[in-house]
Amino acid sequence: MIYNDKKYVWHPFTQMMTEPDVLEIVKAEGTSLIAKDGKSYLDCNSSWWVNVHGHGHPHIAKAISEQFEKVDHIIFAGATHKKGVELSERIINTLPDNHFQKVFFSDNGSTSTEVALKMCFQYWHNQGTPKNRVLAIEGAYHGDTFGAMSVGERDYFNKPFEPFFFDVDYLPFPKKELEKSTIEKAEKLFQTNDFSALIVEPLIQGSSGMRTYSSEWLDQLVKLAKKHNVIVIFDEVMTAWGRTGELFAMNHVNELPDIVCLSKGLTGGVLPLGLTVTTQKIYDAFLSPERVKAFLHGHSFTGNPLACAAACASLDIFEQESTWKKVKLITSKNKEFGSKMENHPSIEDIRIMGTILALELKTGEGNTYFSDKRDEAYRFFLSKGLMMRPLGNVIFINPPYSITMEELEYVYEVIEEFIG
């Protein structure tokens, strides 16, 4: 099997020449990933940050199987289905303050941001006042398609593609001491009136190392964008679904965006689905007797009914009090562990936001994805039965909410042992 994997499979984010053999997982259950040799691994990063309720959740399984009996997949142009409508209505009603009105479907996080960007560019185009620049934040990650890469950090990950990216300005990451100057910089840029959109990962940047920033700063920036008619996109692909301690990161702020992108935990993390949710104002700019003013974008699997059924089932689980009790419990345990580790000599920084705990280790070489510490940490955690993929010298957990307190304590113990 492993031989055939090497022979036929090309893995993501992987140098296939030097990477050691991958783990064959034969069963995923709750927080456990069971390998072929019988060894069990705790899924500390929710299987690439997606699995929020644990693997094989019976309620989600039932929803998918029942949906399969009814409508497995249909074209979503000129036709609709119950679960697509139900999901849209529930998402609109779950997002704050009746602020959003329309849901556009795609297949993953990258396409949800790609769609958001295309909507912004066409919004201005349709009104005969094209605006070509976007403002993003240094260290951003919005996905791996071209538009999404264009607004992401320009680094070794996307070097070969850089000549093909559109024009983007970046604000420095708003560390405390840069809060004032970054707002001033944004104001200057917005005054040029060239900006179509602002895109941010609200409150916490994921891929750049789970880096947090203040909600007051975000409120200021969004307010400024609105003052200058710049469309605001919140990429909540990672931050939604309880990760920040609330259902959405935007539940922590006062200024709401015009567009929000959702994916990852949306289906409980079991089927691919992306949503781009907009206000009435964005939607209305596409209404016209002219067909070319429509949003001419779609995917074969747009609005896949099985994925919609899984997402509705995941929303059911988020309506249960026990889910939120667990989110709060993980949050407070993270804080306890964080304060215990605060002054550890090997730790550069500790960041906690809800169910996410990140420890930046001192390496003397800066925060690099390819740091040797990363491989060392990854192997150490595997040997202790933890599946945990550090981001460079940042080790972090964002576990499924089905994790038990005993399991969580064990994770902290192993982290402490590694750092020690």
Ligand X SMILES: *Cc1c(COP(=O)(O)O)cnc(C)c1O
Interface ranges with ligand X (CB under 6 A): 108-110, 113, 141-143, 201, 206, 235, 237-238, 263-264
Minimum Å gap between C-beta 206 and ligand X is 4
Nearer to ligand X, 44 or 238 (CB): 238
Minimum Å gap between C-beta 113 and ligand X is 6
Minimum Å gap between C-beta 368 and ligand X is 19
Nearer to ligand X, 201 or 360 (CB): 201
- What is the widest separation between alpha-carbon atoms in the chain? 67
Minimum Å gap between C-beta 413 and ligand X is 28
Minimum Å gap between C-beta 250 and ligand X is 14
Minimum Å gap between C-beta 245 and ligand X is 17
Q: Which H helix or E strand runs over 25?
A: strand 25-29
Binning the chain into helix, strand and coil, the percentages to the nearest 5 are 40, 15, 40
Nearer to ligand X, 126 or 355 (CB): 355
Nearer to ligand X, 206 or 242 (CB): 206
Residue 264, sorted as left (phi over 0), alpha (psi -120 to 50) or beta, turns out to be: left
**H-only helix segments in 192-341:** 215-227, 280-284, 305-318, 321-341
Say how many C-beta atoms besides its own lie within 10 A of residue 125's C-beta: 17
Q: Return the structure tokens found at 135.
A: 């403002």
Span between the terminal Cα atoms of the chain, in Å = 37
Q: Return the structure tokens found at 137.
A: 């934040």
Nearer to ligand X, 263 or 279 (CB): 263
State how far the Cα of 200 lies from the Cα of 207, in Å rounded to an integer.
13
Minimum Å gap between C-beta 292 and ligand X is 28
Instruction: Give Cα separations from 387 to 9, 358, 368, 376, 378 (angstroms).
Output: 21, 15, 20, 13, 8
Nearer to ligand X, 222 or 285 (CB): 222
DSSP code of 167?
A: -
Residue 232, sorted as left (phi over 0), alpha (psi -120 to 50) or beta, turns out to be: beta
Nearer to ligand X, 301 or 410 (CB): 301
Q: Provide φ and ψ at 186, rounded to 5°.
A: -60, -45
Contact 24, 48 (CB under 8 A): no
Cα 337 versus chain centre, distance: 24
Minimum Å gap between C-beta 173 and ligand X is 14
DSSP code of 63?
A: H
Minimum Å gap between C-beta 337 and ligand X is 23
Nearer to ligand X, 32 or 113 (CB): 113
Nearest residue to the partner ligand X, using Cβ:
109
Nearer to ligand X, 141 or 190 (CB): 141
183 Cβ contact list (under 8 Å, min separation 6): 217, 220, 221, 224
